[in-house]
A = this chain, B = another copy of it.
Amino acid sequence: MSSHDDLRAIALSEFARAGYGATSLQRIAEVAGLSKSSVLYHFASKEALLEAGISPALDRMEVILDSIEGAPLNDQTRRAFITDFVDFLLAYRLEVHLFINQARSLEDVPVIDRANLIVVRLASYFHSNVDSPVDRLRFGIALGGAAYVLATEENFGPETEPLADIRPALITVLTELLAPVPVRPAAIQELI
């Protein structure tokens, strides 16, 4: 329970909640019960706090990417990826939320560039394994939507139960949405 780890967790939480630019070192110091100078004693800069906050999540996601990029997208690899991805989203909700909300405004920050590269790798993998443009769009909505919903659970409203068994539900939904042959009744084609 070092001050170093505390500050990392506090900064991550504040960055995800209020945004990187809107979170001051003074605010982080107050939550930690320290002075701003002490925060800068443990971390060289505000950017160093950001990097320390989300790097573990990037490490994990890069391991997942390494495990799928060598193999084609079949039933087995799809199943493994989905469980890995869902567990990743559940384990790193704050980090995912921070990335989704701040990626555009922090494009010149090295650690955000690294995160953006991960998204590109993920998109490239599915792009090279899925032929239909519509399916690629559906896959993008599935992965992006899962990340977005997981990272902003308050969008479901406070009156709804927090979907306690969200892990199997997420696996179910993603398995449907990433199905190799999407179910698309002929009736739908006539609608558009």
Contacts and interface: CB of A to CB of B under 8 A. Distances in A.
Interface of A: 16-19, 21-22, 79, 97, 100-102, 104-105, 119-120, 123-124, 127, 133-134, 136-138, 140-149, 152, 155-157, 160, 163, 166, 168-173, 175-177, 182-184, 188-189, 191-192
Nearest to A153: B140
Contacts of A169: 133-134, 137
Contact of A119 (B146, B155, B177): B155
A173 B135 CA distance: 8
Most B CB within 10 A of own CB, among A17, A141, A170: A141
A19 B109 CA distance: 15
Given A138-B176, A141-B146, A176-B184, 6 more contacts: A19-B19, A140-B156, A144-B155, A175-B188, A175-B192, A176-B183
14 contacts: A19-B104, A19-B105, A100-B100, A100-B101, A100-B148, A101-B104, A101-B105, A119-B155, A123-B156, A127-B160, A137-B149, A137-B173, A144-B149, A171-B191
A172 B155 contact: no
